[in-house]
Structure formats: structure tokens, C-alpha cells
Amino acid sequence: MSANNWVMCPSCTAKMVTAFDAEERALAAGYGVISPETWLTKRRELDARKRNGLTADKHSFREDYEIGVRNGEFHVNYLGQCTTCGFSYKFEHKETLKT
């Protein structure tokens, strides 16, 4: 197998979304409690972090895969691993061809 693709890690992305959701709740709780200027500043900062975090080119998840027919068998091999958080996923399938 070879490194065919680099993408954003699904685990890192989920953690980032969870953290942003917590910040959203904290910001909502501060509405009407903190000054409007402070709230708007925090709103803009959070929006910028979300925009940069979710669209950033953070391709830390390496996908290696192979699909083909060999010796009368169809096979699929996939391995994905994150270089940041260590999350990994492996899938293998073989099937004898019926000719």
C-alpha cells in the first residue's frame, strides 16, 4: 500500500466541533450578562476560530489503500492513521472471484 490521500482526521474534527459547541454554550450564557461590546468581540473571535479550524488545511489523516484482483481474489485493503491524535482505522476484505 502507498499513501494515496491526506485528509482532515475525523476524530480531530469531532473533538474540534465538540470544543466549539462548548464555547457556543458559554457565549450564549454570557449574552445579556457581559457588555454588548465584549460579547460581540467574543462572538467574532469564536466565529473566526471556527472558520479557520474547520476549513484549515490540517490534513493529518493519512489514508493508504489498495483495491484489485490478484490470484483469483478480489481484495480491498484500507488503513487510515492520524499523525496528530493517533486515531486509526483498518479495513480488509477478500473474496474469491466466481468465474
pTM over 0.75: no
pLDDT tens for 40-90 read: 999 999 999 888 877 666 789 999 999 999 999 999 999 999 999 999 999
Of 60, 30, 65, 63, nearest to 46 (Cα)? Answer: 30
Q: What string of DSSP letters covers 7-30?
A: E--HHHHHHHHHHHHHHHHHHHHH
Collapse the DSSP code of 16 into the 3-class scheme (helix H, G, I; strand E, B; otherwise coil) and give the result.
helix
Tens digits of residue pLDDT in 14-31? 999 999 999 999 999 999
- Phi and psi (nearest 5°) for 54? -85, -15
Domain ranges, residue 59:
2-96
Number of folded domains in the chain?
Answer: 1
